[in-house]
Amino acid sequence: MMDYSKCVLGIELGSTRIKAVLLDDGHMPIASGSFGWENALRDGVWTYDLSDVKAGMQACFRDLQADVTKRFGAPLTTVGAMGVSAMMHGYLAFDAAGSLLVPFRTWRNTMTGEAAAKLTERFGFNIPQRWSIAHLYQAMLNRESHVKDLSFLTTLSGYVHYLLTGEKVLGIGDASGMFPIDSAAKDYNADMLASFDRLVGEMGYDWTLRQVLPRVLTAGEPAGTLTQAGALWLDPTGTLLPGIPLAPCEGDAGTGMAATNSVGLGTGNVSAGTSDFAMVVVDRLPGVHREIDMVTTPAGDAVAMVHCNNCTSDINAWVGLLGEFADLLGVKMDAGELFTLLFRQALSGAPDGGGLMSFNYESGEGVTDLDAGRPLFLRMPGQAMHLSDFMRTHLMSALATLKLGLDILTDTEQVPIRKLYGHGGYFKTPEVGQRILSAAAGVPVSVMATAGEGGPYGMALLCAYLLHHGSGETLEAYLRDKVFVSAAESTLMADPAEVAGFRDFLRRYQAALPVEAAAIRQN
């Protein structure tokens, strides 16, 4: 009989899927549940309805319960610890009564250019458009009427954590995507808080930023317990009992670092799905670059991040089209099988994509300074078309913008990257995404056996660390010595021709960027 009190549960609200992963006391996944959802573009704003958050979380937990009961013969009533993570950044603003002031503005929006530029100059610290503080300041600059009623500003993980516990807190990694963090103090940067509050006062608002932001917690700190109301919100059947300790809620960047054992100095990982981002733990703040964000690990250590809004959405659309063609031929294929077949075909393509070109911009992209997206596929007249080149081009396009940011980090700032860990849907087909990322970055890429579990697995590990934290062991040591000491992983290095091919593709990609910009201007 499984002792659920020794298990930990991580739930992550990703861009296209809400997923739960249950780990045993040996850190191994033993059950999971999921629910698919999508953002919507409403009145020019990328958003999710908060009713969908509730419905999705309940459906995900219900799916988990079914898996647990099937495997172990009894439903989940409790766990040793649980935690929630989600997409970082964005704007969830509430008044004193807890009412949402404006629809949720997600990380995908690129409407805050003026605010981001002004705050970057004011702070001497890069503030990307998707950060919560950029959204808030843009609303202030726009004189949006709701700002005067602001009482609580949080992220998606912070919102769900509040519903489960009643605590207005945030893990430091997620908090670092709301407002700059002082890694020494393990809190929001005090000087920058004071600077922003002067803007607040000048514009006549009667709140301070400290009053409206969640309290910052580091990995291992208690973050509240599951309340009766929270348990029923997640599981309306009443099977899940209150009283479960919760770890600090985190962002998907932090859980990705935990899931790939990439929280120590010099380690790095790439998460690639709907969006993609590279994270490298550093010992100094690099210069201010629009393409480089400074965030933190779940323990509060500084991380240089290259975040791109677009990765696999355009690939998904093309695979769907090819799936329709297969249906016309009478060939019914499972979506997973179709993705695997087409991804593998990319490995036989020309290293530079055979002269084809693709832009995967479903939405705006801050790294290349584009406020909207237009997915494009281009070829020269008379250019031969092969499926292998077509697929390789799209897979390289998914990483091209990321590579532009990494080049600033490695070439301009001289930050060494010796190896990267990959995780997320892009790496689900063995070797393919791993090899193309290696060609892009020019370094070996490792993928762990647990990489497919992704963010919820990383969140569950942070829950396990919460239970272990009393020992005084650091998160880095805990992951290294207790979790990943004998972890199975595969590592490969792209061959020189592939590295040179990606370099040639990127050169053509940069030269063709004005075509993407022109397409956006044509509306």
As averages over each run of 10 residues, the pLDDT of the chain (523 residues) reads: 93 94 95 94 93 97 97 97 96 97 93 95 94 98 98 98 98 97 96 98 96 98 98 98 98 91 89 88 84 93 91 95 96 92 97 96 89 93 94 98 93 89 89 96 89 83 91 91 87 96 98 95 80
Residue 479: which of 451, 458, 450, 452 has the closest Cα? Answer: 458
Tokens 């297969």 sit at which residue? 326
**CA 174 – CA 164 distance, rounded (Å):** 17
Beta strand pairing call for 268-272 and 420-423: parallel
Exposure of 326 in the CB half-sphere (CA atoms within 13 A): 16
Give the per-residue pLDDT at 318.
97
**CA 178 – CA 88 distance, rounded (Å):** 8
**CA 251 – CA 302 distance, rounded (Å):** 15
Cβ proximity of 60 and 100 under 8 Å: no
DSSP state at residue 248: P
CA distance between the termini of the chain: 60
Cβ proximity of 438 and 445 under 8 Å: yes
Backbone angle region of 124, left / alpha / beta, with phi > 0 → left and psi within -120 to 50 → alpha = left
Give the per-residue pLDDT at 110.
85
Give the per-residue pLDDT at 485.
86
Q: What element of type H or E holds 41?
A: strand 40-42
* Cβ atoms within 10 Å of 255's Cβ, excluding its own: 32
In 319-375, where do the E strands start and end?
Answer: 357-359
**CA 345 – CA 432 distance, rounded (Å):** 9
Residue 364: which of 154, 116, 192 has the closest Cα? Answer: 116
